[in-house]
Structure 1
Amino acid sequence: MFAFGGASLIMALFFATLGFSDRQLGLFMTMTLAGDTVLSFALTFIADSIGRRRVFVGAGLLMAVSGLVFIYFENFWILLLAAVVGVISATGSDFGPFRAIEESVLSHLTNPETRPDVLSWYIVTSNLGSAAGIEVAGRVVEALKNRDGWSERLVYHAIFAVYVVMGVVNMGFAFFMTDNCEIAKPAPSMDDGTQAAQGLLSESDEEIEGEMAPASTAPPVPQKKSLFSGISATTRSVMYKLWFLLTVDSLADGMASYTLTNYYLDRKFHLPKSQLGDYMSANYILGGISSVFAGPLARHLGLVNTMVFTHLPSSVAVLLFPAPQGIVLTVILLLIRGGLNNMDQAPRAALIAAVVKPVERTAVMGITNALRTLASTIGPSITGALADTDRFWVAYVAAGALRVAYDIGLWVLFVNMKLHSHEEGGSGSSRSSRVNDEEDTVEMDPVKREEEEHAR
């Protein structure tokens, strides 16, 4: 997030320096988010099978390669290709393959009692990383611009060099993760081996009988598996509603992302990059501080109430953001938005973990992340087109209205939903939760159960 924060501060300014139009900026951000959607959607479905640590290593490598391209090339289409195929945060948000798998790992390592707090601190550290990245990037840009021999383009290339280093650091951290972050694969037991042997014997008997009998039976037709076949119908019925609401919210976030907000403030007030970095850094720091209270609030108010009551004032701040003509009121609205905007993230991840089984979490969170990113892809193009016609402010009004609609819909549809039905008593240890999940997914043979009870 240190790297994502620094890139979000300079991305739009870098493109303006290269002479790209606002429409090209919108197209770039849209296509980048589209690439993140495909990448995260694909990786989260295979992360549990190939190993979550390997996915993190690969994502860090893609991050480093993308940063190298931004250092050495200035052609729009080459940069666009690197952003689509690789990992570049064009909006400052944590889209791509990282977040969904990280939230799945943390949900796997926690139980319902500790999960909201752990996820809250995860958001806190993310925000502090973004704040540090933005602050450092703003200071470095202003300092290097005043030195002889440093053009504005060269300064921005230096920021992307830091992006490369952070990608390599991510790869290193992934190697230090333990086996606890992976989904444990149960080892085959003696009973499984006996059943397998009996299955082979029965198959061989059937083959012998098949040779003596006329071959009139047609081979079974293989059935196509749905992409959602690994997710239960109960989970899907809940997630369809949540996915719809999250796409509305993400469309709004894409229209008024922090990268575009940096560009809007720069165009409206012509601020020094260090001052712009200070404002955005304070924005992320406030978001980190407020996220500390998301866990305690979730325990007292409930997950859904915490999400709605903290996100709604932030949405109103987005709606009113273009109204002030002075920098002071504009920054106050910015800080209200940023200070409250992230308090719903940890409860949201905890809500998803509370309504799905552990074996479904990585896939569900991957789909959630992909749909949110896909919805966000539309927003930058809309804002870019509005900015080209001097109607930049319309994007914030529309985004604020969409966010308010999301908050109201979330409260109406989910406030009375029963949570943790797959975990013992809605709480308890992680071990009891895993036992319940295994009992839900693996049914014992009635004959075998009767023999074991008789033996006991």
Structure 2
Amino acid sequence: MMSSLGKNIFRESGLLSVHSTGRDATLIIFNRSCRMFAYGASALILALFFAELHVSDTQIGLFMSLTLLGDVVLSLLLTLIADRVGRRRTLFAGAALMIMSGTTFALCENYWALLLAAVVGVISATGGDFGPFRAIEESVISELTTPATRSDVLTWYVTAASLGSSIGTEMSGRIIEWLRAKDGWTLLDAYHACFWLYSIMGLANMASILLLSDKCELRRTAKPTVESEALLSETSSSVEEAGDESRPAAEKKSWVSQISRETTTIMMVLWLLLAVDSLADGMSNMSLTTYYMDQKFHLPKSTLGDILSASYFLSSCSTIFAGPLARHIGLVNTMVFTHIPSSAAVLLFPMAQSVPVTFALLLVRVGLNNMDQAPRTALIAAVVRPEERTAVMGITTIVRTLASTTGPSVTGFLAGNNRFWVAFVVAGALRLAYDLGLFVMFINIRLHKHEPVAPDEHAERRDGVARRRSVESAGGELQLPDSESPARSTT
């Protein structure tokens, strides 16, 4: 019985899906956990680091906005060509930039030099993963998985990231307090030392990227779907007539991924909603949140690290349930109903007048904040064509980053005018607007129509159309035929 229970837990937790996907998926998850370790460590101290350099609140906000803008440019350049240049090569180049940025922050104190390193390189100004890494990694995972396993693997991708952030913030706070207690060490020296962790994690990323296999690259040929088979038959003669004349144009365009009009129509709505959510996140990011708590309660840095680390740890625990929840209530419902409490906590955050209440709200906010990430990525992968995923996910990252760039500057201005608390109220309201908009616009979205379908599943897919559509109207559940359902999959 215990053996059967263990197998059920292994399957329901999604670990079976991760194991069956193979070593590449495990390495990608490891990459992100290392990177988020570095991001978590920097998020705790970045605003405090600049405050120790006597940089004004307005300049701190400007730094974060311009850094996010640099992430936009870098993401645009790398994600649109990643499938052509090679995903592994692109990730390797990004890891090298991460090492460069971390080293600069560990050695330099000039505001403009630090800004240049952050804009040109890869530095997390907010604790979020807004660089080019995530879009490429999510595309790789989508390539390695099936509709039945994708949500589970992406769930552990996010879970490991939250756990990495938790450990990073905890270690950062402890290291700072330990170094400050040593003779000859100032607070500024301790901050510099912590940025070496950023470079070390970049090295770990480079090493693991070298172990990835060719399976991580885009497969140029794919098994046609039911819908695409008819289209392929109709257009084959016209393609043959075009002959060699059409090939040069295709080759010229192949360096940049192409996105269909159908995909663009769907994604424009989601990009608009994500822009609203990301603007709110930029106004209340983790660096600014810890800075706000430091100003309000004057807590030791180790205590700030403990609080933020506990929040990230709760996030990693709660995210485990995102995959099973998505299987039972649907991707959209999981995104919305787990994100609403987190948004409400942001709205109420400045109203707390004691550390315990503030801590409780932060636990709710951070603990539930990431449960929508894996379902969101699975949703995008399910509505776009496989060859579009890297570009679409890259543009999604760019849209979110661009929207986030304004947030820190607005918050910096408000903080400089003794209105820091207003940023959290506005951010919470914007996040709630995103949640409601997402539910209204995407609850009945059709999923997986571009996914390969085995021949023996065609009849079952046609016979189940009416039943699945009624399920979609009832709650937006995963639109898979019974043979593809994770609960009954033999994967």
Shorter chain as denominator, the TM-score bin is 0.7 to 0.9
Name the structure 1 match of 2:274. 246
Name the structure 1 match of 2:181. 146
Rounded to whole Å, the distance in 1 between the matches of 2:220 and 2:136 is 17
Q: Percent identity?
A: 60
Instruction: Indicate if the aligned counterparts of 2:72 and 2:401 stay in contact, CA closer than 8 A.
Output: yes
Name the structure 2 match of 1:268. 296
* Aligned with 1:86 (options 121, 124, 127): 121
Helix, strand or coil at the partner of 2:104: helix
Name the structure 2 match of 1:171. 206
Instruction: Indicate if the aligned counterparts of 1:64 and 1:167 stay in contact, CA closer than 8 A.
Output: yes
Matched, 1:324 2:352: yes
Name the structure 2 match of 1:213. none
Query: Are the structure 2 counterparts of residues 312 and 427 from structure 1 closer, same or farther at C-alpha, using a change threshold of 3 Å?
Result: farther
Please state how far the C-alpha of 1:228 moved relative to its aligned partner.
Answer: 9.0
Q: Deviations over 1:418-454 (max 9, x none)?
A: 111112569999xxxxxxxxxxxxxxxxxxxxxxxxx
Helix, strand or coil at the partner of 2:185: coil
Task: Point out where structure 2 has 5 or more consecutive residues left out of the alignment.
Answer: 1-35, 223-235, 458-491
Name the structure 2 match of 1:13. 48
Alignment of 1:190-339 (within 5 A): 230-339=258-367
| Higher alpha-carbon Rg | 1
Name the structure 1 match of 2:148. 113
User: What one-letter code is carried by the residue in structure 1 that aligns with 2:145?
Assistant: T
Name the structure 2 match of 1:134. 169
Name the structure 2 match of 1:182. 217
Helix, strand or coil at the partner of 1:321: helix
Matched, 1:102 2:137: yes
Helix, strand or coil at the partner of 2:333: helix
Please state how far the C-alpha of 1:237 moved relative to its aligned partner.
Answer: 0.7
Name the structure 1 match of 2:411. 383
Name the structure 2 match of 1:414. 442
User: What one-letter code is carried by the residue in structure 2 that aligns with 1:357?
Assistant: R
Helix, strand or coil at the partner of 2:127: coil
Please state how far the C-alpha of 1:328 moved relative to its aligned partner.
Answer: 0.7
Matched, 1:22 2:52: no
Query: Are the structure 2 counterparts of residues 333 and 70 from structure 1 closer, same or farther at C-alpha, using a change threshold of 3 Å?
Result: same
Instruction: Indicate if the aligned counterparts of 1:253 and 1:379 stay in contact, CA closer than 8 A.
Output: yes
Query: Are the structure 2 counterparts of residues 37 and 199 from structure 1 closer, same or farther at C-alpha, using a change threshold of 3 Å?
Result: closer
Matched, 1:363 2:398: no
Rounded to whole Å, the distance in 1 between the matches of 2:302 and 2:173 is 4
Helix, strand or coil at the partner of 1:418: coil
Please state how far the C-alpha of 1:186 moved relative to its aligned partner.
Answer: 5.2
Rounded to whole Å, the distance in 2 between the matches of 1:348 and 1:246 is 10
User: What one-letter code is carried by the residue in structure 1 that aligns with 2:406?
Assistant: I
Rounded to whole Å, the distance in 2 between the matches of 1:229 and 1:47 is 9
Please state how far the C-alpha of 1:273 moved relative to its aligned partner.
Answer: 0.6
Instruction: Indicate if the aligned counterparts of 1:113 and 1:428 stay in contact, CA closer than 8 A.
Output: no
Please state how far the C-alpha of 1:69 moved relative to its aligned partner.
Answer: 1.2
Instruction: Indicate if the aligned counterparts of 1:317 and 1:400 stay in contact, CA closer than 8 A.
Output: yes
Instruction: Indicate if the aligned counterparts of 1:112 and 1:428 stay in contact, CA closer than 8 A.
Output: no
Instruction: Indicate if the aligned counterparts of 2:81 and 2:257 stay in contact, CA closer than 8 A.
Output: no
Name the structure 1 match of 2:73. 38
Name the structure 1 match of 2:230. none
Query: Are the structure 2 counterparts of residues 229 and 60 from structure 1 closer, same or farther at C-alpha, using a change threshold of 3 Å?
Result: closer
Instruction: Indicate if the aligned counterparts of 1:255 and 1:383 stay in contact, CA closer than 8 A.
Output: yes
Helix, strand or coil at the partner of 1:149: coil
Name the structure 2 match of 1:73. 108
* Aligned with 1:3 (options 38, 57, 79): 38
Q: Deviations over 1:374-428 (max 9, x none)?
A: 1000000000000001100000000000000000000000001111111256999
Name the structure 1 match of 2:11. none
Please state how far the C-alpha of 1:162 moved relative to its aligned partner.
Answer: 1.5
Query: Are the structure 2 counterparts of residues 75 and 150 from structure 1 closer, same or farther at C-alpha, using a change threshold of 3 Å?
Result: same
Query: Are the structure 2 counterparts of residues 233 and 349 from structure 1 closer, same or farther at C-alpha, using a change threshold of 3 Å?
Result: same
TM-score normalised by the chain length of structure 2:
0.79
Q: Deviations over 1:3-50 (max 9, x none)?
A: 111011110110000000000000000000000011011100011111
Please state how far the C-alpha of 1:102 moved relative to its aligned partner.
Answer: 0.7
User: What one-letter code is carried by the residue in structure 2 that aligns with 1:154?
Assistant: D
TM-score normalised by the chain length of structure 1:
0.85
Instruction: Indicate if the aligned counterparts of 2:332 and 2:438 stay in contact, CA closer than 8 A.
Output: yes
Instruction: Indicate if the aligned counterparts of 2:83 and 2:257 stay in contact, CA closer than 8 A.
Output: no
Please state how far the C-alpha of 1:185 moved relative to its aligned partner.
Answer: 3.8
User: What one-letter code is carried by the residue in structure 2 that aligns with 1:327?
Assistant: V
